[in-house]
Amino acid sequence: MITKSQKLSEFFNIGRDRGWDVEKQCWTVHQLINPEGKIFTLGEILDGIPLDLRLEKSGNRYGYPPLREAIQKSQHYRVPKENVLVTSGTQHANFLSLATLLESGDEAIIEAPSWEQPKVVCEALGATAKILHRRPQLGWKFDLNELESLMSPKVKLVYVCHPSNPTGATLTETELSDICEIASKFGAYVISDEIYRGLEWEGGISPSAVNLYERGVTTSSLSKTLGMSGLRIGWLATQDRDFLERCMDLKYYISLHQQSRLDEVVAMAALQPDKFWNLVGRTMAAAKVNYDITSEWVRNNDTFRWVPPKGGFLSFPSYDLDVPSWDLCTRLLEKPYRTYILPGSCYGVEKHVRLGFGPGTPAESMRAGLEQISAFVAASRAGALTA
């Protein structure tokens, strides 16, 4: 299995190399890529730290049963806890799903622009990734006629991420059901990466594939909703118990069957339904500060335009400037701008950038970074940029 380095991971490395102080563990640039929720302390999650907790692995290959029940209830999955498999994050859940379903010669339909992992894994497994385009003129949603045209007996799965990374677009229950119905005509699975679900700005919580389709697979974690990226807990949920068992068998050869007991205890506390949604509400309140700052900046400049994100803390504005997005973002990392955003070319879409406004970026840094982008635009238009 050979994986090829992608432009997105390459630029993540560039940004961290140029903008992260390893010793002080802090950013030295205005970091405007943040997709994560408010970061909570251990004391805010646990009512008293259990000092007698044994720092060992869990003993259940599917995940600690009370944790699986907390996931099922807090996420409103209409399946029993036995249909939830605990993983080491959403990436792990995605990988298990893709690797279980795909063999060399198969086809998978992957949305774009989107997170790069599914396409990379498909190609590494010898499968063909067929691209389903999100289109800005459709509010960064899909043309379902295009999806139907891509389907074939070789297609084993359709991958979507909603709310979307990087566009912030959401799907209605009707739209997700339509995707599932198209997939069902060929017996294909729908892998729905729902890591941003619960962070909607309007319209209520997004629908979940596990609730809509017998071959729907929902993957998620706490890294975006509650900013717990240091907690290596994620999950997949599906109505298809045979598929879940196959994923569980594969999991053994990647990470064994067990999770960290410490991670499980913290995650189970955070996922108690009332507490979870209270924490999400605090996250959204904190994020709204940066969302409003970003919205005002987009509204008041004549270079960047966006489809307002409906969920999550990412956006994908276009810009009217004669500078390739990679060059734009590289120059912004340098003095005097020292601002970190991501090139649209990393997602296969030129003249766009990924702009994040998660609450982990202080409001003053958010404002300063946007001002530096405006300063770069002014210098570029004036011909005052130096080589």
pLDDT in tens, 77-114: 999 999 999 999 999 999 999 999 999 999 999 999 99
- List residues bridging with 110 in a β-sheet: 131, 159
First-last CA distance in the chain: 41
Condensed to tens digits (0 to 9), the pLDDT of residues 288-318 reads: 999 999 999 999 999 999 999 999 999 999 9
pLDDT for the residue 300: 96
Largest CA distance in the chain: 64
Q: What are phi and psi of 152, to 5 degrees?
A: -160, 170
Q: Is the pLDDT of residue 3 over 90?
A: no
As a whole number, mean pLDDT of residues 120-138 equals 96
pLDDT of 207 over the 80 cut: yes
d(CA 173, CA 175): 5
What is the overall mean pLDDT for the chain?
95
Residue 264's φ and ψ, nearest 5 degrees, are -65, -45
Q: How confident is the model at residue 256 (pLDDT cuts 50, 70, 90)?
A: confident
Q: Which range has the worst mean pLDDT, 165-169, 206-210, 249-253, 291-295?
A: 249-253
Q: Quick one: pLDDT at residue 1?
A: 67
> How sure is the predictor about 117, in pLDDT bands with cuts at 50, 70 and 90?
very high
**52 pLDDT band (50/70/90 cuts)?**
confident
How far apart, in whole angstroms, are the C-alpha atoms of residue 64 and residue 144? 39
CA distance 225 to 215: 25
CB 289 within 8 A of CB 363: yes
Among 125-134, 209-218, 234-243, 376-385, the least confident range: 376-385
Question: DSSP assignment, residue 115?
Answer: -
pLDDT in the model for residue 140: 98
**pLDDT tens-digit series, residues 333-387:** 999 999 999 999 999 999 999 999 999 999 999 999 999 999 999 999 988 776 5
Number of Cβ within 10 Å of residue 213's Cβ equals 21
From 187, 139, 196, select the one nearest 162 (Cα to Cα): 196
Residue from 301, 283, 299, 305 nearest 357 by CA: 283
Q: What is the mean pLDDT of residues 248-253?
A: 93
Structure tokens at 103: 């063999």
